[in-house]
Structure 1
Amino acid sequence: MWASDDCLRDSAGILLRVPAGGTARYTLEWDREPSAPECATPSDRSVKAGTYLVEAEADGLKTAKTSFVLAKD
């Protein structure tokens, strides 16, 4: 539905300092609009209520996965 690298506004990236054996948290606000690679127009213009999977990737680390629920507006 959405990827942070589909249409980058700021290529600086996000830097987080994580202590050894620790964790880091980053909160992202999403307007529920789907994205498409290279800023193309997505085929579906609305994201429906439901359960979605989030994946976070960082060089040198395992991919983190979790789910979240979008309720009806």
Structure 2
Amino acid sequence: MNCDEFVELVTAYLDGALEPADDRRFVEHLAECDGCDRYLEQIRTTVAALGHLPEQSLPADTRDRLLAAFRDWPAG
């Protein structure tokens, strides 16, 4: 697994949603890569800090503009 694949799978890993083979590859990469180890810790810290914030509703037009912007975001 390379670092790009690792970053793409972080959310699934934290959710416990990886297939066993992908989970194994993820953990193996994590053991070898200090940069990805730090990245995973940053994501965990962010989730812990922001995970308790209440959900606020966006005005419908703002939500639609955000969704459209990310839908058109370059994939790679």
Q: Same fold (TM over 0.5)?
A: no
TM-score bracket, shorter-length normalisation: under 0.3
Task: State the TM-score, normalizing by the size of structure 2.
Answer: 0.24
- Which structure has the highest strand share of the two? 1
Task: Kindly name which structure, 1 or 2, has the bigger radius of gyration based on alpha carbons.
Answer: 2
Higher share of residues assigned helix: 2
- TM-score normalised to the size of structure 1? 0.24
